[in-house]
Amino acid sequence: MMETFLITGATSGIGRDETRGAALESDSNGQATFIRCDLASTEDIDHLFVQLKEQGVTLNGLFNNAATFGRPGTTERLTHESYTEVFEVNLYALNTVTQRAIPLFDQGASVVNNVAIVGHVKFPPMLAHYATSKAAVVALTKTFAHRMKGKVRFNAVCFGPIHTPLSHKLYGGKAKFKEAMTHHFRGHAALPEEVAPVVEFLLTDASTYINGQAITVDGGYTLS
């Protein structure tokens, strides 16, 4: 029996790239469906779940993957607007998506939140708003896990640096990112394929006794 999972930000960024979405559908041999949704818009999120409900969709899991770094800045200069921009996607939208998904969850469904190590164990000074939003998601993950009493599991995955366009942009380009990652224990950042299996594991029944946890997957990066 095929299971159904909702993944936000599946086309990178906050998931609004329709060209990449179409390519994702094509490459999946009919196993993936792309739905454009602006996660900064509660109306868009509500419309998404109206569609899913009308189609009779039952969800086996949710991966809250979408996020934004915002505009980096020193802690003493970050404005209220800078925090709002990041929190709208990283916390508020994640919370709204999760709330709307709960009525569609099958028994034993699982939620995985993409937290990143900056919200858990390592706090870069230029990303205070991003790190704070991710730390809030850790707390929200544990609170949801307690509230749902195991009927739906909630876990957070705290990734270290990963080779993605968003990470490259944060470091000022792909070349600068690769250079910075030579100081990593492993000598390089993770490829998406190296960390995705952890999310898959947490979404499936193979991890039924893991709940309310923030799991670090960084190749030892935070040991340095």
More confident residue, 105 or 218: 105
Nearest to 148 by CA among 115, 114, 116, 105: 105
Would residue 24 count as lying in a domain?
A: yes
- 105-114 and 59-64 as β-strands: parallel, antiparallel, unpaired? parallel
Quote the pLDDT of residue 13: 47
More confident residue, 20 or 82: 82
DSSP-assigned letter for residue 116: -
User: Over the stretch 177-206, which tens digit does the pLDDT of each residue have?
Assistant: 888 888 877 788 898 899 999 999 999 999
Q: Is the pLDDT of residue 14 over 70?
A: no
Tell me the HSE value of 197 on the side-chain side, using a 13 A CA sphere: 4
Domain count across the chain: 1
Domain that holds residue 199: 5-219
Q: Is the pLDDT of residue 98 over 70?
A: yes
Q: Tell me the average pLDDT across 148-176.
A: 90
What's this model's pTM, rounded to 2 decimal places? 0.91
Q: Tell me the average pLDDT across 158-163.
A: 89
Q: DSSP 3-state assignment of 3?
A: coil
Asked whether 141 and 199 are in contact (CB, 8 A), the reply is no
Q: Tell me the average pLDDT across 34-50.
A: 94
- For every residue of 163-187, DSSP letters joined together read --HHHHHHTTSHHHHHHHGGGSTTS
Q: Is the pLDDT of residue 23 over 60?
A: yes
106: its two tokens = 């099958």
- 152-159 and 214-217 as β-strands: parallel, antiparallel, unpaired? parallel
DSSP-assigned letter for residue 151: S
Mean pLDDT over the full length of the chain: 90
CATH number for the domain that contains residue 24 = 3.40.50.720
Would residue 79 count as lying in a domain?
A: yes
Would residue 123 count as lying in a domain?
A: yes
Quote the pLDDT of residue 16: 65
Would residue 224 count as lying in a domain?
A: no
Nearest to 219 by CA among 174, 192, 184: 184
Backbone angles phi, psi at 153, to 5 degrees: -90, 145
Band the pLDDT of 12: cuts 50, 70, 90.
Answer: low
Tell me the HSE value of 7 on the side-chain side, using a 13 A CA sphere: 17
Q: Is the pLDDT of residue 73 over 50?
A: yes
Tell me the HSE value of 222 on the side-chain side, using a 13 A CA sphere: 16
Q: Is the pLDDT of residue 146 over 50?
A: yes
Would residue 76 count as lying in a domain?
A: yes
Quote the pLDDT of residue 15: 47
Nearest to 183 by CA among 195, 194, 171: 171
Quote the pLDDT of residue 160: 87
